[in-house]
Each structure stands twice: as C-alpha cells, then as structure tokens.
Amino acid sequence: MEEDKKSDGKVAEDPFSRMMFGSKSEVEENQVQQASLDYEELMVNIDSLIESAQNLKPLFHKVFPIIEQLWKKE
C-alpha cells in the first residue's frame, strides 16, 4: 500500500483509470473550461442552427423526389 503513494502524499493513479478517465489534472482543466461557457452565445448558435435547418427543409422537399427516382432505378 505504501508503494501506491507518491512522495508528496498523493495516491498514484493506476494506468487503467488514466486511460479511461484521463489524469486528474485533465479532469480539473475540463471542469474549468465548462465553467467558462457562454450560455447566451450557445443559445444564439443553437437558434441559428435550427433556423438554417428550417430554411433547408423546403429545398429537401424539392430534391427528395429526384433522390427517390434514383433509388427506384437501382
């Protein structure tokens, strides 16, 4: 048990845990990045994505019959 501890008193991570979950410093860094998200900008981007999808919907309805004919030919 003593060999599992590092010289500074922290418990060493096993290789499997590091592979699956990353090192503790990476996890702490990700938590800091998540805390700095701009939710207002995120909502604006989601809104523009939904609006773009709605604008493409009529185009898809015009192109779909052509795609359907190609499927029937095969």
Cβ neighbors of 12 (< 8 A, separation 6 or more) are 4, 5, 6
- What six digits make up the tokens of 40? 């207002």
- What six digits make up the tokens of 66? 């052509």
Q: What is the DSSP letter of 12?
A: P
- What six digits make up the tokens of 70? 């190609």
pLDDT value at position 52? Answer: 94
Query: Phi/psi at 5 (nearest 5 deg)?
Result: -95, 140
Dihedral class, residue 57 (left if φ above 0, else alpha if ψ from -120 to 50, else beta): alpha
Give the pLDDT confidence of 43-66 residue by residue, as tens digits.
999 999 999 999 999 898 899 898
Q: 30 or 14: which carries more pLDDT confidence?
A: 14
